[in-house]
Chain A
Amino acid sequence: MLEKAIVLAGCAVGAGLALIAGIGPGIGEGYAVGKACEAIGRQPECKGEVTSTMLLGCAIAETTGIYGFVTGLLLIFVAPGIFLNLL
């Protein structure tokens, strides 16, 4: 019983810790959008190009956060079953 509780608690805490990965993309995307706004303010005529480049960059910056999210999903939905079988 105690082992089961420890495994489940470990999975839940790990999922929570995995979502700390969301901090990085948040800061990075905010910085990118801010710079894009500056660029558009300086040269309003290249708004379309700046926006599409920014969205692409944001999507790539988001990847690490997505990895954290997928890890969290795995820890909640997949890992408990596997680890409980191992006991």
Chain B
Amino acid sequence: MSDQPVTNFSESRPESRFASSWGAATGSWLPAVILLLATIVVWEAVVRIFAISAFIIPAPSEIAQSLVAQWGTLMQATLVTAGEILFGFLVSVVVGIAIALVIVRFDWLGRALYPLVVLFQNVPKVALAPIFILWFGYGLAPKIGLILVIAFFPVTLSMLAGMQSVDRSLLSLMNSVGASRTQILFRIRVPHSLPNLMAGTKIAATLSVIGAIVGEFAGASDGLGYVIQFASTQLDTALVFAALLLVSVLGIAFYYAAEILERIVVPWAPKFSQS
């Protein structure tokens, strides 16, 4: 065997589509931004022309005033809710991954666990909120619990799908050299599942926001959910909308944080590079 390489026929490389994606992205945002601005203008105009009462539909300008006037309170509430979301989200991801790993690694446990997980998914979890308040009080714990039961499922399900979609001939290769189940799990199945897992994680991020707000509705003395409830009893609809706006901003922020995480964790995912 000599050291020289055998014939190296030049084969064309697939072209990268990365270069044009930034321009395309900003271009695709523009119509959405224009529609949003138009909606705000029409909204303001309709409220003023028909003199609609502020406690039914506040004009965008009134919402903005409320936002400025109550800035301190709202920021404090936002911080509390953001903390709940972040903590609850992380717990959901960790628990969701753990359940998926157990189901795949231990056959009999998986067969026992999986139907129960699916069954549990059909429980209307928002209805669990009062029970969680009863068990855990008015603090952080019931919110974390509620986020967990709402958000772990997409994590578990997406990771399972990813781990179980490994090509059979790749498993044949691994088996032929005597790879153990644990080796196949951690060297093939888990990294293979990461693109799916990140997709599930993005869904979990969105659900975590819902979980936190529902938890605060059911019983809380702080947070944006509490502000919404309190303001609506005061008929301060402008403040309700201001708080809703901040909830939406939180939701978007968490979603994009998850998406940035995805780019870091799975740079090879098909979305970013044609394969």
The answer to whether A binds B is no
Please report A residues at the B interface, Cβ cutoff 8 Å: none
Please report B residues at the A interface, Cβ cutoff 8 Å: none
